[in-house]
Structure 1
Amino acid sequence: MLALGACATPEKGTPESDPSEAAASTTATDPPADDAADPGHAVAPPGDFDGTLFGDDLLVVSQDTLTEDEIAAITGVKVNGEKGVAAFTQLSYGQFTMQNRLFNIAAVDPAGYRPFTGSDNAAFQQQWDRIAGGEVAVLESLKKELPTDDDGYLTVDDQRIHVGAWSRPGVDGVDAVVNAKWGADLGLPPRNAVLINTGIASPQVVRAKIEKAVGVKTYAISNLDIVAQRGLDLDTFQNVVPVGAFRDAVGVFRYTAIGGGRIAPDPAWVRSHIVKEAVPILGVVTCNKYMMPQLKAALQEVVRRGLENEIRRDQYAGCYYPRFIAGSTQLSNHSFGLALDLNVPGNQRGTVGDMNREVVAIFKYWGFAWGGDWAYTDPMHFELHKIVNPG
């Protein structure tokens, strides 16, 4: 399944770049003590920027590593007898979750990826050296949504990565960039995406050619230019490829935006992941089947400790809600059935809330994150943070 996105317009076209993987920025954090901040995740430095720039016109994303035949089909399309792909680079691409939001992360080769990120980003040498040295570059606009700890580290799927640079927008649909070594440790499918510059050809025309070449039934197609600038492309499948533990619980989540903030997940995904089961205290709930064992274990422990009255069944607001976070085009973990809201009236967003802290500790023990810990609190909200075995 592939997601195909249109991004920006080219700045300068030259022949194909070598397949690769990385991110962008204009503000570096304090310099690392060594040449490489994380030698265990360092790759070869990219060298000086040579001035080559491409437009980030299309992004093609698959759930798995793209084969040579798939790459050839995608990058070999022609428009009026001429090449439709002027330059491309391969990367690894997926999503991670933080504070009930999904963020897009790319693992790249700094040298091959930087020409697609715009002139300011591409020329910012320190940023690319930091990515090569094992650090992450994050969009500066996401400082509040992706908070770091006191030492400047961002936690992605329980892995701490030092933020080496806060960047201006580069490639549409990419919030954070790391190198390929980090991509492997984060569980990103290796080289499952291709970033494309279409040169003088229309990205929309090239997109249609790629759709025809790879088959719409096999590949989920999305338009990142529309996502970034005008809301989602309605009636078109989008792809989510989570990293780490969520890859097991979500797999590849395909959905269509249907207006009004709602989405329609692929029915096959719903059948294979969403179940109705009876759990302690709450009765029958509809959630992701991978979360059910931990949810039951947490609620059983609440009962065992005599705290069942601390969770009000009549104030439970549900688990599986296939829709966007209000006012955005970002999916919450409710879309996957991996979150639930408890004791809603006394635990509104932005408040301390009255959730019993022993109940909170039990849920944390069983692998849940609590919204009351977030920078902008949501104390009614619990979401799956990691998969643990109740057995």
Structure 2
Amino acid sequence: MGVAHRRARLAFVSAVVLLAAACSSPADPAEDETSGAASGTSSVPDGGGPSYAVHTVEPPGEFDRIEPDDMLLESTETIPDELIRRIRNIRLEGRRAVSAITPLSLSSFSLENRAYRIAAVDVEGYRRFAGPDDNGARFQEAWERVAGGEIAVLDALKGRIPLDKDDYLAVGSGEQTSPIHVGAWTSQVGTIDAVVNEAWGEALDFPENNALVISTGAYSPQAVKEKLEPLLEDNMAITDLDIVAQTGIDPGASRTALVIGTFAEAVGVYRYTPIGGGRVQPDPAWVREHIVTETVPILGRLTCNKYMMPQLREALLEVQTLGLAHEIKYHVGCYYPRFIAGSTTLSNHSFGLAIDINSLENQRGTVGEMHPTVVQIFKKWGFAWGGDWTWTDPMHFELERIVQPG
């Protein structure tokens, strides 16, 4: 299965959110070719920014071997050492069926309505699973940059993930955003979009070692999975990355999203199951805890995340008070649990943390017709506006930071 990491890139496309024809366009801006990040020939910069000077670890040695990324085990908590030992000892035909394991500290961050999966990794161990091509395990400079405090991002996202002019990626949200310099565009394991070193993982408060990449060597991942599943606890799920590589998703497999940043509590631990048609089914307990239906000014009854609702209500009330209610004619959804069209990336609508307003007049890639005072009010109340994005989405407002009504 050693080519799984390459096929998995197909799951990440440029389409950005849903709910209306304008919100599901697959278009993306042209790729920026001016990036200073490593792409096989560039040298390590001499800068002294936050990515370089503070969050560093021991650099990796020279490339030694490649391990296929066959399965990804995810948990809502640190995976116990005893379970790791038992996984290592799984046997088929009297022989060990697990050839290699590396732990990850797996989380997510939200940016322009996409939840990107990020892992803090042991650089030496992780690189072996990143595949045999030129952007994978052999890409020495890339892994040296990660050890030096930079971030390596999935190569398929180059030109599609928004960076600032100095090639920094905003990891986190709101006031808790940490800009990390993109040091390389690489292959990644399975559905992971980006990796940083363990020092960054600690600084960003990632859940510690809550995932494992597993290689089954000469044995079928499906056969090993049958032995592995009885060992798992209720808060764990295993993904067959070979199936992901071929279809973009492991049908029926439970998965977990852990979002970092100022509104992490609004997401919590989001466990969900893909149910076809680009939709997901969140854990009913999560829905009961996080999703509410209430009446808000101008729009009436609305179903959203309970953490966003007070700020949304205050923003709409201020719009109404200033005599601008006529500028908000309708909405096309807030809570809508599904992937971004054509991908396995969750939209913020899945968490009930975004709302699309006046979609027909504010289509993707346009300036739109959103009244500037309405935009200003929403920003005041903690919302990011899609009209500011690299590839504009002026109908879209999403929670960026928590603001407590006074």
What TM-score results when the alignment is normalised by the length of structure 1? 0.87
Aligned pair 1:171/2:171, yes or no?
Answer: no
Q: How does 1:180-219 map to 2 (within 5 A)?
A: 180-215=198-233, 217-219=234-236
**Residue 384 of structure 2: SS of its match in structure 1?**
strand
Report the equivalent of 1:88: 101
Relative to structure 1, the CA distance from residue 290 to residue 73 in structure 2 (aligned partners, 3 Å threshold; closer, same or farther) is: farther
Decide which of 377, 399, 403 is 1:362's aligned counterpart.
Answer: 377
1:389 deviation in Å? Answer: 2.5
Aligned pair 1:63/2:76, yes or no?
Answer: yes
Report the equivalent of 1:259: 276
Structure 1 segments unaligned to the other structure (5+ residues): 1-5, 11-23
**Residue 378 of structure 1: SS of its match in structure 2?**
coil
Decide which of 292, 302, 310 is 1:293's aligned counterpart.
Answer: 310
Q: How does 1:7-156 map to 2 (within 5 A)?
A: 26-27=39-40, 31-33=44-46, 38-49=52-63, 51-119=64-132, 120=134, 121-156=136-171
- Residue type of the alignment partner of 1:184: E
1:35 deviation in Å? Answer: 8.8
Aligned pair 1:390/2:390, yes or no?
Answer: no
Relative to structure 1, the CA distance from residue 219 to residue 25 in structure 2 (aligned partners, 3 Å threshold; closer, same or farther) is: farther
Relative to structure 1, the CA distance from residue 344 to residue 33 in structure 2 (aligned partners, 3 Å threshold; closer, same or farther) is: same
Percent identity, aligned pairs only, is 54
Residues 52-76 of structure 1, C-alpha deviation per residue, up to 9 Å, x if partnerless?
A: 2211111111122222223233333
How far, CA to CA, are the matches of 1:40 and 1:172 in structure 2? 29
1:30 deviation in Å? Answer: 5.4
Structure 2 segments unaligned to the other structure (5+ residues): 6-36
How far, CA to CA, are the matches of 1:7 and 1:304 in structure 2? 60
Runs of 4+ in structure 1 deviating by more than 4 angstroms, as ranges, are 6-10, 34-37
The answer to whether the Cα contact below 8 Å between 2:75 and 2:235 also exists between their aligned partners in 1 is no
Report the equivalent of 1:17: none
How far, CA to CA, are the matches of 1:7 and 1:102 in structure 2? 26
How far, CA to CA, are the matches of 1:340 and 1:238 in structure 2? 24
How far, CA to CA, are the matches of 2:335 and 2:4 in structure 1? 38
Residues 149-181 of structure 1, C-alpha deviation per residue, up to 9 Å, x if partnerless?
A: 1111111112100011122x2322121111011
1:328 deviation in Å? Answer: 2.5
What TM-score results when the alignment is normalised by the length of structure 2? 0.84
**Residue 350 of structure 2: SS of its match in structure 1?**
helix
Q: Tell me how many residue pairs correspond in the alignment.
A: 368
Structure number with higher relative contact order (C-alpha < 8 Å, ≥ 6 residues apart):
2
Report the RMSD for the aligned CA atoms in angstroms: 2.3
Relative to structure 1, the CA distance from residue 88 to residue 220 in structure 2 (aligned partners, 3 Å threshold; closer, same or farther) is: closer
How far, CA to CA, are the matches of 2:103 and 2:363 in structure 1? 43
Decide which of 348, 371, 374 is 1:333's aligned counterpart.
Answer: 348
Report the equivalent of 1:381: 396
How far, CA to CA, are the matches of 2:42 and 2:353 in structure 1? 34
Aligned pair 1:160/2:179, yes or no?
Answer: yes
1:338 deviation in Å? Answer: 0.7
- Residue type of the alignment partner of 1:201: Y
The answer to whether the Cα contact below 8 Å between 1:59 and 1:193 also exists between their aligned partners in 2 is yes
